[in-house]
Amino acid sequence: MVLDADALNIVSKHQKNIRSVPQQSIITPHPKEFERLFGSTENSYQRLDLACKKAAELHIYIVLKDHHTQVITPEGKVYYNITGNSGLAKGGSGDILTGAVTSLLAQGYSQEEACILGVWLHGKAAEYASEKHSRESVLPTDVIDAFGSVFNELNRRTFKSL
C-alpha cells in the first residue's frame, strides 16, 4: 500500500490510526505531514532519527519528501536522493511521485527499489522539465511529460555500456 496526502491526513487524525497501516507499506509525507503523523522535531536531523525509529517500529518505508528526499527502510537504511529541484515544490508533484512508486511496485519492484527508483525518476524528470520551462514556471504536467526523456537517457546509457 502507498499512502500520500489526504490518506496521511486521515491517518494523522488519531494516533492509533498509524498502527492500521499494513506492514511493508510506503508512506510519502512532506515535513508537515510527517509532523502531523509522528510529532514535531527541532530540526531535520531529529526528523530523520524519528523517521528511522518509526519505520523500524511500524515496519514501513518512509519517503520523506524534502529538498533532498530521503527513503527510510524498516531495517534502518537511509537513501538520499540527489535529483530534483525547487520546481517540485508545488501542488501535484507528490501525486506524480506516488504514481511513479506505485507503478514500479505494480511492475514487480520491491518496496525499497520502487521508493529509490521512483524518487530518482521523479527528481530527474523535474530537472529535465526545468531545463525546458524553468524551475519557477514548471508545472506538474511538464514533469510527467519529461519522464519519457529520462527513460530515453537511461536506455541510451544502458545500451551504450553493453
Find all residues with CB under 8 Å of 149, minimum gap 6, and list them: 125, 128
Give 36-86 pLDDT, tens digit per residue: 999 999 999 999 999 999 999 999 999 999 989 999 999 999 999 999 999
Quote the pLDDT of residue 115: 98
Residue with cell 523535474: 126
Residue 158 pLDDT grade (very low, low, confident, very high; cuts 50, 70, 90)? confident
Please give the model's pTM, rounded to 2 decimal places.
Answer: 0.95
Residue 33 pLDDT grade (very low, low, confident, very high; cuts 50, 70, 90)? very high
Domain ranges of the chain: 1-80, 84-162
Q: Helix 93-106 and helix 140-161: axis angle, to 10°?
A: 40
Give 102-136 pLDDT, tens digit per residue: 999 999 999 999 999 999 999 999 999 999 999 99
Quote the pLDDT of residue 15: 86
Quote the pLDDT of residue 30: 95
